[in-house]
Amino acid sequence: MLRLDGIHRSYGDRLVLDDVNFGVERGRLTGFVGGNGAGKTTTMRIILGVLTPDSGEVTMDGRPLDAEGRRAFGYMPEERGLYPKMRVAEQLTYLARLHGYDRGVADRRARELLESLDLGERADDNLEDLSLGNQQRVQIAASLVHDPEVLILDEPFSGLDPMAVDTVVGVLTERAARGVPVLFSSHQLDVVERLCDDVVVIAGGQVRAAGGREELRERYAEPRYEISSAGDMGWLRAEPGVQVVDFAGGWALFDADEETAQRVVRTAISQAPLLEFTPVRPTLAEIFRDIVRDESETSGTAAGEAPAPDLNEQHETIEEPVR
Protein backbone atom coordinates (compact mmCIF):
# COMPACT_ATOMS: atom_id res chain seq x y z
CA MET A 1 0.00 0.00 0.00
CA LEU A 2 1.07 3.58 -0.73
CA ARG A 3 0.47 5.56 2.47
CA LEU A 4 0.66 9.19 3.58
CA ASP A 5 0.81 9.93 7.31
CA GLY A 6 0.78 13.33 9.00
CA ILE A 7 1.75 15.34 5.92
CA HIS A 8 2.08 19.09 6.50
CA ARG A 9 3.28 21.58 3.91
CA SER A 10 3.38 25.38 3.92
CA TYR A 11 4.38 28.01 1.39
CA GLY A 12 5.66 30.84 3.55
CA ASP A 13 2.92 31.67 6.04
CA ARG A 14 0.23 29.81 4.10
CA LEU A 15 -0.57 26.27 5.29
CA VAL A 16 -1.35 24.23 2.17
CA LEU A 17 -1.56 20.70 3.61
CA ASP A 18 -2.69 20.12 7.18
CA ASP A 19 -2.17 16.62 8.62
CA VAL A 20 -3.00 14.71 5.42
CA ASN A 21 -3.50 10.98 6.00
CA PHE A 22 -4.75 8.37 3.53
CA GLY A 23 -3.73 5.18 1.74
CA VAL A 24 -3.88 3.86 -1.82
CA GLU A 25 -4.23 0.10 -1.81
CA ARG A 26 -2.74 -2.27 -4.34
CA GLY A 27 -5.15 -3.31 -7.05
CA ARG A 28 -7.58 -0.47 -6.33
CA LEU A 29 -8.42 2.74 -8.13
CA THR A 30 -8.52 5.72 -5.78
CA GLY A 31 -10.12 9.00 -6.84
CA PHE A 32 -8.66 12.17 -5.33
CA VAL A 33 -11.23 14.97 -5.47
CA GLY A 34 -11.36 18.56 -4.30
CA GLY A 35 -11.77 22.11 -5.49
CA ASN A 36 -9.06 24.14 -7.18
CA GLY A 37 -6.42 24.99 -4.60
CA ALA A 38 -7.54 22.24 -2.22
CA GLY A 39 -4.08 20.64 -2.15
CA LYS A 40 -4.33 17.77 -4.65
CA THR A 41 -1.36 18.64 -6.85
CA THR A 42 0.86 19.51 -3.88
CA THR A 43 0.02 16.14 -2.32
CA MET A 44 0.88 14.32 -5.54
CA ARG A 45 4.20 16.16 -5.86
CA ILE A 46 5.10 15.17 -2.32
CA ILE A 47 4.30 11.53 -3.11
CA LEU A 48 6.64 11.77 -6.10
CA GLY A 49 9.42 13.50 -4.15
CA VAL A 50 9.23 16.68 -6.22
CA LEU A 51 8.31 18.54 -3.02
CA THR A 52 9.38 17.75 0.54
CA PRO A 53 6.79 17.88 3.33
CA ASP A 54 7.47 20.05 6.36
CA SER A 55 6.55 16.99 8.41
CA GLY A 56 5.03 13.58 7.89
CA GLU A 57 6.00 10.54 5.86
CA VAL A 58 5.17 8.77 2.60
CA THR A 59 5.67 5.00 2.66
CA MET A 60 5.24 2.08 0.29
CA ASP A 61 4.36 -1.26 1.87
CA GLY A 62 5.48 0.14 5.22
CA ARG A 63 8.90 1.35 4.05
CA PRO A 64 9.87 5.02 3.59
CA LEU A 65 10.12 6.02 -0.05
CA ASP A 66 13.44 7.12 -1.51
CA ALA A 67 14.49 8.24 -5.00
CA GLU A 68 15.15 4.67 -6.15
CA GLY A 69 11.70 3.50 -5.04
CA ARG A 70 10.06 6.40 -6.86
CA ARG A 71 11.74 5.41 -10.14
CA ALA A 72 9.13 2.66 -10.33
CA PHE A 73 6.30 5.22 -10.21
CA GLY A 74 4.36 6.40 -13.22
CA TYR A 75 3.22 10.04 -13.20
CA MET A 76 1.06 12.12 -15.50
CA PRO A 77 1.10 15.86 -14.66
CA GLU A 78 -1.86 18.07 -15.43
CA GLU A 79 0.33 20.21 -17.69
CA ARG A 80 1.49 18.58 -20.92
CA GLY A 81 5.26 18.07 -20.89
CA LEU A 82 6.17 16.05 -23.99
CA TYR A 83 8.09 17.18 -27.06
CA PRO A 84 5.62 18.54 -29.66
CA LYS A 85 7.86 18.04 -32.71
CA MET A 86 8.92 14.49 -31.82
CA ARG A 87 7.17 11.40 -33.18
CA VAL A 88 4.81 9.78 -30.70
CA ALA A 89 6.27 6.24 -30.63
CA GLU A 90 9.84 7.56 -30.73
CA GLN A 91 9.09 9.71 -27.71
CA LEU A 92 7.63 6.83 -25.70
CA THR A 93 10.52 4.58 -26.72
CA TYR A 94 12.97 7.19 -25.45
CA LEU A 95 11.17 7.38 -22.09
CA ALA A 96 11.15 3.58 -21.75
CA ARG A 97 14.90 3.46 -22.47
CA LEU A 98 15.50 5.95 -19.66
CA HIS A 99 14.06 3.25 -17.39
CA GLY A 100 16.51 0.62 -18.65
CA TYR A 101 14.70 -1.09 -21.53
CA ASP A 102 16.75 -1.84 -24.65
CA ARG A 103 15.64 -0.20 -27.90
CA GLY A 104 13.76 -3.19 -29.32
CA VAL A 105 11.78 -3.91 -26.17
CA ALA A 106 11.14 -0.20 -25.59
CA ASP A 107 9.78 0.30 -29.11
CA ARG A 108 7.54 -2.77 -28.84
CA ARG A 109 6.16 -1.62 -25.48
CA ALA A 110 5.50 1.87 -26.86
CA ARG A 111 3.57 0.60 -29.87
CA GLU A 112 1.57 -1.97 -27.90
CA LEU A 113 0.57 0.72 -25.42
CA LEU A 114 -0.49 3.08 -28.21
CA GLU A 115 -2.63 0.31 -29.68
CA SER A 116 -4.34 -0.23 -26.34
CA LEU A 117 -5.16 3.50 -26.25
CA ASP A 118 -6.49 3.45 -29.84
CA LEU A 119 -3.54 5.48 -31.10
CA GLY A 120 -1.72 2.82 -33.09
CA GLU A 121 -2.31 4.59 -36.40
CA ARG A 122 -0.78 7.81 -35.04
CA ALA A 123 2.40 6.21 -33.67
CA ASP A 124 4.69 7.79 -36.28
CA ASP A 125 3.03 11.24 -36.31
CA ASN A 126 4.54 14.21 -34.54
CA LEU A 127 2.82 14.92 -31.25
CA GLU A 128 1.83 18.46 -32.34
CA ASP A 129 -0.15 17.00 -35.27
CA LEU A 130 -2.56 15.22 -32.91
CA SER A 131 -5.70 16.71 -31.41
CA LEU A 132 -5.49 17.87 -27.80
CA GLY A 133 -7.47 14.83 -26.68
CA ASN A 134 -5.08 12.46 -28.45
CA GLN A 135 -2.12 14.32 -26.96
CA GLN A 136 -3.67 13.68 -23.56
CA ARG A 137 -3.75 9.96 -24.30
CA VAL A 138 -0.07 10.08 -25.28
CA GLN A 139 0.64 11.71 -21.89
CA ILE A 140 -1.11 8.78 -20.23
CA ALA A 141 0.93 6.34 -22.34
CA ALA A 142 4.12 8.11 -21.20
CA SER A 143 3.21 7.40 -17.57
CA LEU A 144 2.67 3.71 -18.34
CA VAL A 145 5.42 2.80 -20.80
CA HIS A 146 7.91 1.61 -18.15
CA ASP A 147 5.32 -0.68 -16.49
CA PRO A 148 5.13 1.29 -13.21
CA GLU A 149 4.50 -0.28 -9.82
CA VAL A 150 2.48 2.78 -8.70
CA LEU A 151 0.46 5.13 -10.91
CA ILE A 152 -0.24 8.79 -10.07
CA LEU A 153 -2.36 10.76 -12.56
CA ASP A 154 -3.34 14.44 -12.31
CA GLU A 155 -6.57 15.12 -14.25
CA PRO A 156 -6.07 12.26 -16.77
CA PHE A 157 -9.54 12.66 -18.35
CA SER A 158 -9.28 16.37 -19.12
CA GLY A 159 -10.15 17.05 -22.77
CA LEU A 160 -11.24 13.48 -23.57
CA ASP A 161 -14.53 12.67 -25.28
CA PRO A 162 -16.70 9.90 -23.77
CA MET A 163 -15.28 7.19 -26.06
CA ALA A 164 -11.71 8.16 -25.16
CA VAL A 165 -12.62 8.21 -21.46
CA ASP A 166 -13.89 4.63 -21.76
CA THR A 167 -10.65 3.57 -23.49
CA VAL A 168 -8.48 5.12 -20.77
CA VAL A 169 -10.68 3.67 -18.03
CA GLY A 170 -10.16 0.22 -19.53
CA VAL A 171 -6.37 0.63 -19.51
CA LEU A 172 -6.30 1.89 -15.92
CA THR A 173 -8.62 -0.87 -14.73
CA GLU A 174 -6.35 -3.44 -16.35
CA ARG A 175 -3.34 -1.98 -14.52
CA ALA A 176 -5.18 -2.07 -11.20
CA ALA A 177 -6.10 -5.70 -11.84
CA ARG A 178 -2.37 -6.45 -11.89
CA GLY A 179 -2.06 -5.12 -8.35
CA VAL A 180 -0.90 -1.59 -9.16
CA PRO A 181 -2.10 1.15 -6.76
CA VAL A 182 -3.70 3.88 -8.91
CA LEU A 183 -4.34 7.41 -7.59
CA PHE A 184 -5.87 10.01 -9.87
CA SER A 185 -7.42 13.42 -9.44
CA SER A 186 -10.39 14.59 -11.46
CA HIS A 187 -13.09 17.25 -11.45
CA GLN A 188 -15.30 14.88 -13.48
CA LEU A 189 -17.06 13.25 -10.55
CA ASP A 190 -19.28 11.11 -12.75
CA VAL A 191 -16.12 9.39 -14.02
CA VAL A 192 -14.72 9.05 -10.48
CA GLU A 193 -18.00 7.54 -9.32
CA ARG A 194 -18.05 5.02 -12.17
CA LEU A 195 -14.39 4.08 -11.99
CA CYS A 196 -13.12 4.24 -8.42
CA ASP A 197 -13.03 1.69 -5.66
CA ASP A 198 -12.02 4.31 -3.10
CA VAL A 199 -12.39 8.09 -2.83
CA VAL A 200 -10.39 10.73 -0.95
CA VAL A 201 -12.02 14.16 -0.54
CA ILE A 202 -9.70 17.07 0.26
CA ALA A 203 -10.63 20.68 1.00
CA GLY A 204 -8.57 23.48 2.49
CA GLY A 205 -5.55 21.20 2.68
CA GLN A 206 -7.32 18.68 4.91
CA VAL A 207 -8.72 15.25 4.09
CA ARG A 208 -12.44 15.58 4.83
CA ALA A 209 -13.37 12.01 3.97
CA ALA A 210 -11.66 8.84 2.74
CA GLY A 211 -12.88 5.32 2.17
CA GLY A 212 -14.65 2.98 -0.19
CA ARG A 213 -17.17 4.51 -2.55
CA GLU A 214 -20.11 2.62 -1.07
CA GLU A 215 -18.83 3.20 2.47
CA LEU A 216 -18.89 6.98 1.89
CA ARG A 217 -22.44 6.72 0.56
CA GLU A 218 -23.53 4.97 3.74
CA ARG A 219 -21.61 7.31 6.03
CA TYR A 220 -22.55 10.68 4.57
CA ALA A 221 -25.79 10.23 2.68
CA GLU A 222 -28.95 11.71 4.16
CA PRO A 223 -31.98 9.38 3.95
CA ARG A 224 -33.79 10.55 0.79
CA TYR A 225 -36.86 9.15 -0.91
CA GLU A 226 -38.83 9.56 -4.11
CA ILE A 227 -42.60 9.18 -4.04
CA SER A 228 -45.20 9.31 -6.77
CA SER A 229 -48.99 9.30 -6.26
CA ALA A 230 -52.13 9.46 -8.41
CA GLY A 231 -53.18 12.39 -6.22
CA ASP A 232 -51.63 15.73 -5.40
CA MET A 233 -48.74 15.51 -2.90
CA GLY A 234 -48.97 19.12 -1.71
CA TRP A 235 -49.81 17.96 1.83
CA LEU A 236 -46.26 16.58 2.13
CA ARG A 237 -44.88 20.10 2.66
CA ALA A 238 -46.60 20.31 6.05
CA GLU A 239 -45.61 16.84 7.30
CA PRO A 240 -43.53 16.96 10.52
CA GLY A 241 -39.97 15.67 10.06
CA VAL A 242 -40.08 15.95 6.26
CA GLN A 243 -37.83 18.21 4.18
CA VAL A 244 -39.12 18.45 0.61
CA VAL A 245 -36.21 18.71 -1.82
CA ASP A 246 -38.22 18.83 -5.04
CA PHE A 247 -41.93 18.74 -5.83
CA ALA A 248 -44.20 18.51 -8.88
CA GLY A 249 -47.87 17.81 -8.18
CA GLY A 250 -48.12 14.07 -7.65
CA TRP A 251 -44.35 13.55 -7.36
CA ALA A 252 -41.91 14.56 -4.64
CA LEU A 253 -38.33 14.07 -3.52
CA PHE A 254 -37.87 14.41 0.24
CA ASP A 255 -35.52 13.82 3.18
CA ALA A 256 -36.75 12.07 6.32
CA ASP A 257 -35.79 9.33 8.72
CA GLU A 258 -37.09 5.82 8.02
CA GLU A 259 -39.96 5.98 10.49
CA THR A 260 -41.20 9.30 9.07
CA ALA A 261 -40.88 7.99 5.51
CA GLN A 262 -43.10 5.03 6.35
CA ARG A 263 -45.68 7.40 7.83
CA VAL A 264 -45.61 9.40 4.59
CA VAL A 265 -46.29 6.21 2.63
CA ARG A 266 -49.28 5.31 4.80
CA THR A 267 -50.72 8.82 4.45
CA ALA A 268 -50.23 8.80 0.68
CA ILE A 269 -51.98 5.42 0.34
CA SER A 270 -54.92 6.67 2.39
CA GLN A 271 -55.45 9.57 -0.02
CA ALA A 272 -54.82 8.15 -3.51
CA PRO A 273 -53.24 5.15 -5.29
CA LEU A 274 -49.49 5.04 -4.63
CA LEU A 275 -47.54 4.76 -7.90
CA GLU A 276 -43.96 4.60 -6.63
CA PHE A 277 -41.90 4.86 -3.46
CA THR A 278 -38.15 4.24 -3.44
CA PRO A 279 -34.99 5.27 -1.57
CA VAL A 280 -32.69 7.49 -3.63
CA ARG A 281 -28.95 6.85 -3.65
CA PRO A 282 -26.89 10.06 -3.61
CA THR A 283 -24.32 10.76 -6.30
CA LEU A 284 -20.68 11.37 -5.45
CA ALA A 285 -21.18 15.02 -6.45
CA GLU A 286 -23.95 15.38 -3.85
CA ILE A 287 -21.83 13.71 -1.17
CA PHE A 288 -18.88 15.93 -2.06
CA ARG A 289 -20.99 19.07 -1.71
CA ASP A 290 -22.44 17.91 1.61
CA ILE A 291 -19.03 17.01 3.09
CA VAL A 292 -17.39 20.27 2.08
CA ARG A 293 -20.41 22.37 3.13
CA ASP A 294 -20.72 20.64 6.52
CA GLU A 295 -17.01 21.06 7.25
CA SER A 296 -17.13 24.73 6.25
CA GLU A 297 -20.12 25.37 8.50
CA THR A 298 -18.44 23.56 11.39
CA SER A 299 -14.94 25.04 11.22
CA GLY A 300 -15.19 27.99 8.87
CA THR A 301 -13.41 28.28 5.55
CA ALA A 302 -9.70 27.59 5.94
CA ALA A 303 -7.29 30.40 5.16
CA GLY A 304 -6.27 30.32 1.54
CA GLU A 305 -8.84 27.69 0.63
CA ALA A 306 -10.27 27.96 -2.83
CA PRO A 307 -14.02 27.44 -3.17
CA ALA A 308 -15.25 24.00 -4.10
CA PRO A 309 -15.93 23.56 -7.82
CA ASP A 310 -19.40 24.17 -9.18
CA LEU A 311 -20.45 20.56 -9.63
CA ASN A 312 -23.51 21.61 -11.61
CA GLU A 313 -21.20 23.01 -14.24
CA GLN A 314 -20.83 20.89 -17.34
CA HIS A 315 -17.10 20.33 -17.81
CA GLU A 316 -15.89 20.33 -21.39
CA THR A 317 -14.94 16.83 -22.50
CA ILE A 318 -15.12 17.14 -26.28
CA GLU A 319 -12.02 16.06 -28.10
CA GLU A 320 -10.85 18.12 -31.07
CA PRO A 321 -11.18 16.38 -34.44
CA VAL A 322 -8.11 14.46 -35.53
CA ARG A 323 -6.29 16.23 -38.31
The structural domains of the chain, ordered by start, are 2-214 (3.40.50.300), 222-279 (3.30.70)
pLDDT tier at 293 (50, 70, 90 boundaries)? low
- Whether 188 has a pLDDT exceeding 60, the answer reads yes
DSSP percent split of the chain into helix, strand, coil, nearest 5: 40, 25, 35
| pTM greater than the 0.95 cutoff | no
Where helices occur in 178-275 by DSSP H, the ranges are: 189-195, 213-220, 258-271
3-state secondary structure 281-314: CCCHHHHHHHHHHHHHHHHCCCCCCCCCCCCCCC
Q: Which of 1-10, 127-136, 214-223, 310-319 has the lowest mean pLDDT?
A: 310-319
| Across 163-186, average pLDDT | 92
Q: Which of 42-51, 73-82, 148-157, 312-321 has the lowest mean pLDDT?
A: 312-321
- At residue 246, the 3 state secondary structure works out as strand
Q: Counting beta carbons within 10 angstroms of the beta carbon of residue 308, is it exposed (0 to 12), middle (13 to 18) or buried (19 or more)?
A: buried
Q: Report CA-CA distances (Å) from 61 to 24, 27, 199.
A: 10, 13, 20
Cα 231 off chain centre by? 42
Q: What is the pLDDT of residues 159-174, one digit of tens each?
A: 899 899 999 999 999 9
Q: Cα–Cα distance between 249 and 227 in angstroms, integer? A: 11
The pLDDT score that the predictor gives to residue 296 is 55
Residue 214 CB neighbour total at 10 angstroms: 10
Q: Cα–Cα distance between 193 and 170 in angstroms, integer? A: 15
State whether the Cα torsion 295-303-308-135 is positive or negative.
negative
pLDDT tier at 298 (50, 70, 90 boundaries)? low
**Going by DSSP bridges, is the β-strand pair 206-212/198-203 parallel, antiparallel, or unpaired?**
antiparallel
Q: Which of 16-20, 142-146, 227-231, 311-315 has the lowest mean pLDDT?
A: 311-315
